[in-house]
C-alpha cells in the first residue's frame, strides 16, 4: 500500500465504522433482581443448571446434545437479557464444558448448540462475564470455526466474535484478544462470504479492531478488500 492508499483506506474504514454505529443498536444487559424472590429463583435455577451440566459431560452423544439444548433454551436471548441466568451457568462451570463441546470429536449438532449458547453469553453478558469467556479460552475455538464448511457453525462463530468485539469497545481488551487468536486473516477471508450476516459482522469486527487499536497495521488488507467492505456492507 502506498501512503495515498493508506489515507484512502482510513477514510473508507471511518465511513464504515460510522455506518456500523448507526446500524447496530445494542441493548445493554439489565441488572438482576437482588431481592429475596430473585435469590430464591437463583438458588433453584443453579440446582437445575448443575444437573444440566452434569448431563452435558455424558459420553453418550444423544444425552450430551439434549443437555446442551436445554442450556441453549435457558440462555436464549428471546428470554430478555435480565432473565438470562448467565452468572449461575458460569459459577456452575459451564464454560469449559461448552468449549469442550466445540472440539472436532463432537457432532456438528452438539457444536452448533454449544456455540450458539456461548454466542448468547457473549452478547448478553456483562463485561466480567465476557472476559470470563475469553479467559476460559473461547476465542481460539470461535476463530477456528470461522473456517468451518458448515455455514451455520461459521455464522454463529462470527456472531460470537462480533458480540465480544462490539460489547467491549470502550477498551481494547477484546480486540487485542481477537487479534492474538489469529482472527484477522480469517475475517478478511469472510469479506467474500455470500452470506449477508457473516459478511457484515466480519466488516464490523475488522473496523472495531482498527478503531480500538490505532497501532494495528492494516496495510496488508488491500484497498480492493476495503472497497468490498464498504460496497458489500452498504448494499445489504
Instruction: Please give the grid coordinates belonging to residue 69.
Output: 439444548
The number of distinct structural domains making up the chain is: 1
Residue 2 lies in a domain: no
What pLDDT was estimated at residue 101? 96
Residue 228 lies in a domain: yes
Residue 172 lies in a domain: yes
Those residues whose C-beta lies under 8 Å from the C-beta of residue 132, and which sit 6 or more positions away, are: 90, 95
Residue pair 85/42 in contact (Cβ under 8 Å)? The answer is yes
Q: Rounded to whole angstroms, how far apart are CA atoms 162 and 200?
A: 10
What pLDDT was estimated at residue 204? 87
Q: What is the pTM of this model?
A: 0.80
Tell me the chain's radius of gyration from C-alpha atoms.
19
- Domain that residue 210 falls in: 19-234
Residue 13 lies in a domain: no
Q: Given the C-alpha cell 453469553, which residue does it identify?
A: 121
Lowest mean pLDDT among 19-23, 85-89, 171-175: 19-23
Q: Rounded to whole angstroms, how far apart are CA atoms 229 and 223?
A: 10
Residue 10 lies in a domain: no
Q: Rounded to whole angstroms, how far apart are CA atoms 148 and 102?
A: 12
What pLDDT was estimated at residue 115? 97
Residue 5 lies in a domain: no
Q: What are the DSSP calls for the chain, one per residue?
A: --HHHHHHHHHHHHHHHHHHHHH-PPPPPPPPP-SHHHHHHHHHHHHHHHHHHHHHT-S-HHHHHHHHHHHHHHT-GGG-GGG--HHHHHHTTHHHHHHHTTSTTS-HHHHHHHHHHHHHHHHHS-HHHHHHHHHTTHHHHHHHHTT-SSHHHHHHHHHHHHHHHHTTTTSSHHHHHHHHTTHHHHHHHGGG-S-HHHHHHHHHHHHHHHHH-TT---TTS-HHHHHHHHHHHHT-
Residue 4 lies in a domain: no
Residue 1 lies in a domain: no
* Residue 69 belongs to domain with CATH number: 1.25.10.10
15: number of CA atoms within 13 Å, CB side?
14
Rounded mean pLDDT of 137-149?
97
pLDDT at position 82 over 90? no
Instruction: Please give the grid coordinates belonging to residue 50.
Output: 448443575
Longest C-alpha distance within the chain, in Å? 63
What pLDDT was estimated at residue 207? 84
pLDDT at position 37 over 70? no
Rounded mean pLDDT of 59-88?
85
Identify the CA nearest to 133 among candidates 98, 106, 102, 166.
98
Q: Rounded to whole angstroms, how far apart are CA atoms 160 and 164?
A: 6
Amino acid at each position: 500500500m502506498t501512503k495515498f492508499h493508506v489515507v484512502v483506506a482510513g477514510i473508507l474504514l471511518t465511513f464504515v465504522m460510522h455506518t456500523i454505529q448507526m446500524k447496530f443498536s445494542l441493548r445493554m444487559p439489565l441488572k438482576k433482581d437482588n431481592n429475596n424472590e430473585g435469590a430464591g429463583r437463583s438458588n433453584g435455577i443453579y440446582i437445575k443448571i448443575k444437573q444440566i451440566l452434569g448431563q452435558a459431560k455424558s459420553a453418550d452423544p444423544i444425552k450430551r446434545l439434549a443437555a446442551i439444548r436445554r442450556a441453549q433454551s435457558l440462555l436464549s436471548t428471546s428470554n430478555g437479557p435480565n432473565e438470562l441466568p448467565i452468572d449461575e451457568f458460569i459459577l456452575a462451570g459451564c464454560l469449559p464444558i461448552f468449549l469442550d463441546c466445540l472440539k472436532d470429536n463432537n457432532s456438528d449438532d452438539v457444536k452448533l448448540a454449544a456455540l450458539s449458547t456461548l454466542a448468547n453469553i457473549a452478547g448478553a453478558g456483562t463485561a466480567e462475564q465476557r472476559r470470563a469467556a475469553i479467559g476460559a479460552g473461547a476465542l481460539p475455538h470461535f476463530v477456528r470455526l470461522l473456517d468451518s464448511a458448515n455455514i451455520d457453525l461459521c455464522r454463529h462463530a462470527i456472531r460470537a466474535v462480533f458480540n465480544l468485539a462490539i460489547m467491549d469497545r470502550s477498551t481494547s481488551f477484546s480486540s487485542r484478544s481477537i487479534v492474538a487468536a489469529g482472527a484477522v486473516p480469517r475475517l478478511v477471508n469472510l469479506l467474500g462470504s455470500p452470506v449477508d450476516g457473516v459478511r457484515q459482522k466480519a466488516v464490523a469486527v475488522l473496523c472495531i479492531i482498527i478503531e480500538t487499536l490505532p497501532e494495528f497495521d492494516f496495510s496488508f488488507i488491500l484497498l480492493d478488500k476495503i472497497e468490498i467492505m464498504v460496497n458489500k456492507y452498504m448494499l445489504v
